Every structure is written in C-alpha cells, then in structure tokens.
Structure 1
Amino acid sequence: MMHSREKMICSILLLIILTSCVSGTFVVNVTQSSYQAEEDQDITLEWTFTTNNHSSSNSLNVFCELLAVLKNPGLFHLREGVEVPESRHEQFAGRVQWDKDVLREGRLRLHVSRLRTNDSGLYVCKVLTRYGRNSGRCRLNVTAARDRPKPETPNTTSPPKTTSPPKPTSPQQPESLGWMVFYCVVILCWLFFCIFLEKFCKKNC
C-alpha cells in the first residue's frame, strides 16, 4: 500500500517537473516592443511563438486584448485554430485581419486598419498550446493626424481693379489777361497825372 502511494506521488512530481520544463521552453515574443502611427493609418502587430512538429495549429488557442483601466477590449481570439469573431470588441469591429498561412510557422500577424487615437495602449497576446503557454506584450501609440494646409486657390470672384478718373484741373488763364491789367494800371496812372497837372496849372495861372 505504501509502495503504491510513493509511486503515485513520484509520478505526479515527475509530471509537474516535465510540465514546468516544457512550459519553460515555450516562448512568445514580439517583433517590435513599440509601434508609432498616425490616425487613419494601417499597422501590423506581430508576435512569434515556439512551434512543435508534433502539434498542429488546431490545438492552438490565442487571445489578444488591449489592456485598459475599466475593461480590456478584445482584439483577436483563436480557439483550437478557429477564429472567434464574437470575442472581438466593438472598438475593433471590421478593422482586424490576420494571416492564417504564417500561423503554422509560429507567427501571429494582426493587421489593424483605420487607426484611432483610442487604439493607443499596451497589447498582450496569450498563446496556449498542448506543449506550453506564455504571453507577449507590445505598445501602440496613435497620434492625431497632422493638419495639412489647404492649397491656395485663385480668387476668381474678386472685382476687377478700377482706376479713378483724373481730377479736373482749373482752366489756364490766357496770357493776355496780364497785359490787360498792365494797360489798365498805366491808363489810370496817366489819368491821375493829367488831373493833377490840370489842377496845378489852374492854381499857378
């Protein structure tokens, strides 16, 4: 009886040790630890994980999400090699595609289109297989699109330039007017002289 118990305990310990060793060799990495993009752009997030020749992708379980304060929006869910689109959060609805062909190579590529500023944050992908489990994280920073100046268009509706009419100039006085004034002054002087001379003669005569 004691021998069978000891044998069972040894088997359990051996199973735990083997599981720990196998899990320790299963690694999930990210090709980039940080991504930078602008609003409305597309981006590809990629993870790599250890593969096993004796296991197929049908036994693969993957769950990727955006770590948030209140609730973690689900980005991608793969259950036993089959995508579960119902697990995707409405924030990413219709904006996530993945490459099935590279999954057997130990690569998980997620294409996220039409990025938004609230897509920024820390993304984690948890990979679970029959031979181990692990997770990898990467950060995405989405900035607002830069304001692009609009090209200037010629204003065709502006009124045409008008020139003001020349100011009227005062008519030039004829040169003969000066001579007429001169003659009048001479005649007046001559009349005064004649009157004065006549009075002088009467007084002395």
Structure 2
Amino acid sequence: MVHFGIFVLGFSWPFWSFTAGHTEDKGTFVVNVTQTSYQAEENQNITLEWTFSTRTDTSLSSISTVCEMFTETRIYVFHLYEGVEFPKSQDLQFAGRVQWDKDVLTEGRLTLHVSRLRTNDSGFYVCDIRVIPGGNNSRGCWLNVTGE
C-alpha cells in the first residue's frame, strides 16, 4: 500500500474547488466515509461508501461529485455533475467496473461498486461531494487489494 507522509493536494475544477484530505467541516455540510480502510483480494467486488448532509428537498440535479484514486498519480474513478454521470472523464483503468446507486444519492449516500478488483486498484480514494444549496466537502478511504 502507498502511504503519503503529508497529504496535501489541491486543484480546481470548473465547478468547485477541491482539497484532498481536507478534514475541516465547511459549515453544516459534512461528508464522511463509512470505513476508512478496505481490504480485498484480486477479482473480488467491493462497495466504497460516503455519507453526506442532505435536506428533504435535495434533488439529484443538485448533487455533483468527483471521486479519484491517489497513488503516485491522480486517477479519475467517478464524475457526476448536477446529477449526470460523465463516464468519459473516468480513467480507462476503471472503465466498465464502477457502478453507483442513483436511488440512495439524494438520501445522502454515495455508493461506488467496483468490480473485478485488480492489485493496481490499491490506493487512497477521495470523493469531493457538492450539494446546492449546502456546500461541499471531501473525505477519503484506503483500499488495499492483494493478489489471489
């Protein structure tokens, strides 16, 4: 598994600013991971899950997210903008292997199902989630995939 001594990476997206590893809550908008670390074997499937603040009137079109895997580089795993998925921005490493649950997103749950795991899927996964109105925040979790 790759570990970063100091994990401070920042960059901007056209639709919001993102800082990986950010731990400060931004107002009342909170993002959490259900697990901070996952362990799996090659060729297994896994579900990574984030929870976040929503309101009773939160619609799918008010939610955007960028999920990335950090190793020595930044790899795009999942991109949703205003409720619309953008699979073309996904790295080829994950093409056809990442599914999400549309039904639970407006309830404040982002679930990414990654199938047919590979050892090079090991890394630190960060999702930056934005809900309008509400705010944005990010959290990350580790995934370690070992050979069979």
Name the TM-score class by shorter chain. Answer: 0.7 to 0.9
Return the structure number with greater helix share: 1
Runs ≥4 in structure 1, deviation > 4 angstroms? Answer: none
What does residue range 172-191 of structure 1 map to in structure 2 within 5 Å? none
Code of the aligned partner of 1:122: F
What residue ranges of structure 1 are gaps of 5+ in the alignment?
1-21, 146-205
Distance 1:72 1:134 in 2: 18
Distance 1:37 1:110 in 2: 15
Return the structure number with greater strand share: 2
Q: Please report how far the alpha carbon of residue 54 of structure 1 lies from its aligned counterpart in structure 2 after TM superposition.
A: 3.6
Q: Which residue of 2 aligns with 1:96?
A: 98
Deviation string, structure 1 residues 90-111 (Cα, Å, up to 9, x no partner): 0001111111101111000010
Does the residue aligned with 2:26 lie in a helix, a strand or coil?
A: helix
Identity across the alignment (%): 63
Distance 1:105 1:132 in 2: 16
Deviation string, structure 1 residues 32-56 (Cα, Å, up to 9, x no partner): 1100000011000000000022432
**Counterpart selection for 1:75 from 53, 77, 91:** 77
Cα RMSD, aligned residues only: 1.3
Distance 2:128 2:93 in 1: 20
Equivalent residue pairs, number: 123
What residue ranges of structure 2 are gaps of 5+ in the alignment?
1-24
Q: Which residue of 2 aligns with 1:64?
A: 67
Structure with the greater alpha carbon radius of gyration: 1
Does the residue aligned with 1:126 lie in a helix, a strand or coil?
A: strand
The answer (yes or no) to whether the contact 2:58–2:106 under 8 Å persists in 1 is: no
Code of the aligned partner of 1:100: K
Q: Which residue of 1 aligns with 2:121?
A: 119
**Counterpart selection for 2:53 from 43, 50, 55:** 50
Code of the aligned partner of 1:117: T
TM-score by length of 1: 0.58
Q: Please report how far the alpha carbon of residue 23 of structure 1 lies from its aligned counterpart in structure 2 after TM superposition.
A: 3.5
Distance 2:26 2:85 in 1: 24
**Which deviates more from structure 2 when the two are superposed, residues 127-136 or residues 51-60?**
51-60
**Counterpart selection for 2:143 from 131, 140, 145:** 140
Q: Which residue of 2 aligns with 1:33?
A: 36
